[in-house]
């Protein structure tokens, strides 16, 4: 991932069949960036969409403010939210990189809080629906919310994450943290957030949470059933082993090179 001196902020938006919601999100994102000092880029990644999501991005990017550039990518088949975000983060060239959901669940005005934290020396600032001063405009269903909290509790304790909310799709990274972490990501499922934060902790990046205004959109692309929940749990449990195995392999290769 190349750092370009003329790009201050990259915004990555993963999409799966978002032709209906993406126009509003891009309109608001472009409007916000047009008044923000510096030069910025928006990166839309269509993860196996079949509804013309990339066409929406192409039209939105035809006329952009002088300080905003747009990129859009698409591939098939659908590989999962984690794959889309990893792909987009590796394309980012900004000094800081944000990934956000295509439903605009968190308004970009909350980015000011995240940027202030990076100004203070943090490497990663993540939006949280569970810290003081957060505003939940519309909640998820009762069952979905309770399942999410239970899963979050298991994940935080298993991975040793001292964070209240790992899954909110609004996270800001320094360029260095983006490059170091997303070059190592292995999972493609929705649980990739846990992997990102586990790697950040292991690599000693400074991570903090900040309050957001969050609105749940019932038209979600992420659905759960028993089988899917088991897969997500299995992926989560595999995180340390995936990376420890890679580290051991790397050590053996280095030892072989040294002996040779």
Per-residue pLDDT of the chain (260 residues; tens, 9 = 90+): 555 458 999 999 999 999 999 999 999 999 999 999 999 999 999 999 999 999 999 999 999 999 999 999 999 999 999 999 999 999 999 999 999 999 999 999 999 999 999 999 999 999 999 999 999 888 777 777 777 788 888 888 999 999 999 999 999 999 999 999 999 999 988 889 999 999 999 999 999 999 999 998 877 656 656 687 888 889 999 999 988 876 666 666 556 566 65
Determine the pLDDT at residue 38. 97
Instruction: Report pLDDT for 144.
Output: 76
Q: What local confidence, expressed as pLDDT, does residue 186 receive?
A: 92
Count of CB atoms situated within 10 Å of the CB of 117:
19
What pLDDT score was predicted for residue 230? 86
- Cα separation, 14 vs 148, whole angstroms: 21
* pLDDT score, position 247: 66
**Domain 9-259 sits in which CATH superfamily?**
Spore Coat Polysaccharide Biosynthesis Protein SpsA; Chain A (3.90.550.10)
Instruction: Name the residue among 168, 224, 167, 177 with its Cα closest to residue 201.
Output: 177
DSSP symbols for 145-174 = HHHHHHHHHHHHHHHT---S-S--SEEEEE
Q: Tell me the three state secondary structure of residue 136.
A: strand
pLDDT at 76: 95
DSSP, collapsed to helix, strand or coil, labels residue 105 as coil
**Predicted pLDDT at 181:** 97
């Amino acid at each position: 991932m190349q750092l370009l001196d003329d790009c201050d902020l990259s915004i990555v938006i993963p999409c799966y069949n978002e032709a209906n919601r993406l126009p509003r999100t891009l309109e608001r994102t472009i409007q916000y960036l047009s008044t923000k000092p510096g030069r910025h880029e928006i990166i839309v990644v269509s993860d196996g969409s079949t509804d013309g999501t990339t066409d929406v991005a192409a039209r939105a990017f035809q006329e952009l403010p002088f300080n905003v550039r747009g990129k859009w990518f698409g591939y098939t088949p659908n590989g999962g939210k984690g794959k889309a975000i990893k792909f987009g983060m590796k394309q980012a060239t900004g000094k800081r990189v944000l990934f956000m959901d295509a439903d605009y669940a968190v308004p970009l005005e909350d980015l000011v809080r995240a940027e202030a934290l990076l100004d203070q020396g943090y490497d990663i600032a993540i939006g949280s629906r569970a810290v003081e001063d957060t505003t939940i405009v519309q909640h998820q269903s009762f069952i979905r919310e309770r399942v999410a909290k239970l899963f979050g509790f298991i994940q935080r304790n298993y991975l040793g994450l001292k964070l209240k909310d790992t899954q909110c799709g609004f996270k800001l990274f320094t360029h260095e943290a983006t490059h170091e972490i997303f070059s190592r990501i292995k999972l493609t499922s929705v649980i990739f957030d846990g992997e990102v934060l586990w790697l950040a902790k292991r690599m000693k990046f400074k991570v903090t949470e900040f309050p957001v205004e969050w609105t749940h959109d019932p038209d979600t692309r992420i659905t759960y059933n028993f089988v899917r929940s088991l897969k997500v749990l299995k992926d989560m449990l595999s995180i340390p082993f995936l990376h420890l195995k890679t580290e051991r392999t790397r050590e053996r290769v280095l030892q072989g090179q040294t002996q040779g």
